[in-house]
Amino acid sequence: MPDPLVIAGKPFNSRLMLGTGKFKDFGVMREALEASGAEIVTVAIRRVELGAPGHVGLLEALDLSRYHLLPNTAGARTAEEAVRIAKLARALTGTNWVKLEVIPDPTYLLPDPLETYRAAQELLEAGFTVLPYIGPDPVLAQKLAALGTATVMPLGAPIGSGWGLKGRAFIEILTKERPAPVVVDAGLGLPSHAAEAMELGADAVLVNTAIAEAKDPVAMAAAFRQAVEAGRAAYLAGPMPPRATASPSSPTAGIPLPQPEAPT
């Protein structure tokens, strides 16, 4: 039963996107990409341009016949900077897809909702396919989708933290409303975090640090691949509802347990 992820009209088989930063070397990166099954990979174009550590020769190291490149605007602190980097990315790579990141916050690396919205407007007008990185904010997601962004990419937790779905209740609302395909991005530290996002109804997840900084990045990439597939399959398979009663495999089932509570 085919169940493609469709973004901007383009179908993908994989629901796991990978970032390309922080790998020990390009060899490991390529093997991890292979093991992950990812089709979409993000690249920090500004760091490539600057020749930041780990980014010299990065574009050349990727087999672009095989991966759909998703340049991001990492480094941008304002809408203007993001638009400039997006245009640079388009010139360098030929794609008009862009993962829009506007991050003014030097400490926690959280995105700016106002500048992100402004940049999305400009980039959509300039013909870009825009995948904006946002906080776990269902209303902002609605408004970006109404503008015409191709996805919304709410964060699980601060970039690189590995904390998992720290705004889970809000991600749950966001995936239920799903004004555009939802890609949970940032902060996922373990395969179970990725599975959890998919079980809630996310369309895809993006992972970088948790794979690149594992002791064995290639094995971890394969683990994330399986977890994303498991989470998606569970979502489609119709999970049992968590229940407020214990339930043995017998006719005496159904005795009251503690009251259900708020989403965790």
Q: Pick the stretch among 4-12, 85-93, 123-131, 218-226 that binds a copy of itself (CB under 8 A).
A: 218-226
Q: Does 140 bind a copy of itself (CB under 8 A)?
A: yes
| Residue from 22, 24, 99, 215 carrying the catalytic annotation | 99
Cα-based torsion angle of the residue sequence 81, 83, 89, 92 in order, rounded to the nearest 10 degrees: -90
Question: 10 Å Cβ neighbour count for 112?
Answer: 21
Nearest one of 77, 74, 1, 42 to 229, comparing CA atoms: 1
Q: Does 146 bind a copy of itself (CB under 8 A)?
A: no
Q: Does 227 bind a copy of itself (CB under 8 A)?
A: yes
Q: Does 135 bind a copy of itself (CB under 8 A)?
A: yes
Calpha distance 193→264 (Å, rounded): 13
3-state secondary structure of 235: helix
Active site residue 99: yes
Q: Does 24 bind a copy of itself (CB under 8 A)?
A: no
Q: Which residue has the tokens 């991005």?
A: 185
The secondary structure of 20-85 as a DSSP string is: -SS-SSHHHHHHHHHHHT-SEEEEEHHHHHHT-TTTTTHHHHS-TTTSEEEEE-TT--SHHHHHHH
**Residues annotated within a binding site for 1-deoxy-D-xylulose 5-phosphate:** 160, 186-187, 208-209
Shortest spacing between CB 64 and a copy of itself, in angstroms: 19
Shortest spacing between CB 16 and a copy of itself, in angstroms: 11
Which C-beta is closer to a copy of itself: that of 65 or that of 259?
259
**Residues annotated within a binding site:** 160, 186-187, 208-209
Which C-beta is closer to a copy of itself: that of 167 or that of 181?
167
The secondary structure of 71-127 as a DSSP string is: EE-TT--SHHHHHHHHHHHHHHH---EEEE-----TTT----HHHHHHHHHHHHHTT
Q: Pick the stretch among 62-70, 78-86, 92-100, 186-194 that binds a copy of itself (CB under 8 A).
A: 186-194
Shortest spacing between CB 212 and a copy of itself, in angstroms: 8
Q: Pick the stretch among 6-14, 62-70, 79-87, 102-110 that binds a copy of itself (CB under 8 A).
A: 102-110
Contact between 32 and 219 (Cβ < 8 Å): no
Which of residues 14, 19, 48, 129 is near a copy of itself by CB under 8 A? 19
Calpha distance 45→92 (Å, rounded): 9
Q: Pick the stretch among 60-68, 83-91, 122-130, 166-174 that binds a copy of itself (CB under 8 A).
A: 166-174
Q: Does 159 bind a copy of itself (CB under 8 A)?
A: yes
Which of residues 122, 143, 148, 179 is near a copy of itself by CB under 8 A? 143
Calpha distance 5→93 (Å, rounded): 23
Which of residues 191, 202, 204, 206 is near a copy of itself by CB under 8 A? 191
Q: Does 36 bind a copy of itself (CB under 8 A)?
A: no
Calpha distance 85→81 (Å, rounded): 6
| Residues involved in catalysis | 99
